Amino acid sequence: MSPLSITRTLPADATAAALRADVTQGLTRTPKQLPPKWFYDARGSELFEEITKLPEYYPTRAEREILLTRSAHIAAATGARTLIELGSGSSDKTRHLIGALTELHTYLPIDVSDSALAAAGEALLTEHPGLTVHALVADFQKGIQLPDTPGPRLLAFLGGTIGNLLPEERAAFLRSVHAMLSPGDALLLGTDLVKGEATLVAAYDDGQGVTAAFNKNVLQVINRELGGDFDPADFDHVALWNADHEWIEMRLRARTDLTVKIPAVDLAVSFAEGEEVRTEISAKFREGGVRSELAAAGLKLSEWWTDSAGRFALSLSVRV
């Protein structure tokens, strides 16, 4: 195997087909909704990078703090020779982990973007020339067949991204993680924690309006890819704390009665004034709940670390 290889497990048109299906199903149901993965075209990724640097948005900084202080402990606890990362993107935070994993042989980043995987892989090989990077173009919610790589293996799912899944989706995802791992392999999971409503809402509704632009970017994606005629100015960005479910909801709220045409899916979508489209949930967690969800999937929580302010957690669990 060459030091960098990329395997595509998704058909070439899978992304376009998924967008058409999600838009058709999501905008014809009641209430309307769209999956958050459609924020992330090139412009959406740039906006999210801006969000991570905002004073209101703490999760990225908090998780990086934990990785900086705990990577050596994670390396000692796992002895990982293969590091698998789901939704790896630029692999930025993972660099702290890779540097600490002295026995690491193979890094296996998994993402839906070929270009992000190639760029991150080349950068890592420059920093770690002895590393083998085997990237997979895949959707972790569609099931993944991992290549044969040396064990023990450590699977990292960072950024609190698990919070974007509904409870039944989280359960299915964790079962799939269990199936990917062998006994003794480990899962490193990032989870944002329950805290005061004001802090949470501010993180998703910043004063500079960057998160609003990020939320509305899904409309630009639909316009560009499906010929839609959304005017983002017709919608307000809304971020709400749902105390019953302990998650943040991001929504787009129509400012007036309007109809949007999306020719590529032969759709005309009517909105009443004040009607909302839910574009994201971001669940917040407590240690006991994370432990229970992991245990239900056959994963035993062995380590729980938070940042110094107690805002965010990384947990290490072992497949039993």
Looking at residue 113, its pLDDT comes to: 67
Check whether residue 99 and residue 19 sit in a common domain. no
Residue 65 sits in the same domain as residue 117: yes
Residues of the chain with pLDDT under 50: 1
Residue 217 lies in a domain: yes
Residues 249 and 263 in one domain: yes
Same-domain status, 104 and 169: yes
Note whether 188 and 208 are same-domain residues.
no
Helix segments in the chain, DSSP class H: 14-26, 42-52, 59-78, 94-100, 114-127, 167-180, 197-203, 210-226, 287-296
Q: Which residues contact 4 (CB under 8 A, 6 or more apart)?
A: 118, 121, 122, 125, 133, 134, 135
Q: Give SS3 for 260.
A: strand
Q: Are residues 95 and 122 in the same domain?
A: yes
Closest among 308, 280, 285 to 195, alpha carbons compared: 285
Identify residue 223 by its one-letter amino acid code: N
- Structure confidence at residue 1 (pLDDT): 43
Quick check: is 116 in a domain?
A: yes
Does the residue 237 lie in any domain?
A: yes
Residue 251 and residue 189 share a domain: no
In a domain, 141, yes or no: no
Same domain for 307 and 213? no
**pLDDT attached to residue 9:** 73
What letters, b where the CB count within 10 A reaches 16 and e where it falls short, cover 120-134? bbeebbeebeebbbb
User: What domain range is 162 assigned to?
Assistant: 57-136+153-193+285-319
For residue 188, what are the β-bridge partners? 156, 316
Question: Looking at residue 38, what DSSP letter applies?
Answer: G
Asked, as a colleague might, if the bond just before 152 is cis with ω within 30 of 0, I would say yes
Q: Is 63 within the bounds of a domain?
A: yes
Contact status, residue 306 vs residue 174, Cβ threshold 8 Å: no
Tally the residues of the chain.
320
In a shared domain, residues 164 and 309: yes
pLDDT of residue 293: 98
User: Which residues neighbour 95 within 8 Å (Cβ) at sequence distance 6 or greater?
Assistant: 124, 127
* 80 occurs within a structural domain: yes
Query: Residue 114's domain is classified under what CATH number?
Result: 3.40.50.150
What is the model's pLDDT at position 66? Answer: 97
**In this structure, are 170 and 77 located in the same domain?**
yes
Do 312 and 191 touch, CB atoms closer than 8 A? yes
**135 bridge partner residues:** 6
pLDDT of residue 144: 80
Whether 120 maps to a domain, the answer reads: yes
What is the signed CA dihedral for 262, 142, 176, 90, rounded to 10 degrees?
-80
Looking at the structure, tell me whether residues 187 and 249 fall in a common domain: no
- Same domain, residue pair 26 and 123: no
143 within domain boundaries: no
Number of domains in the chain: 2
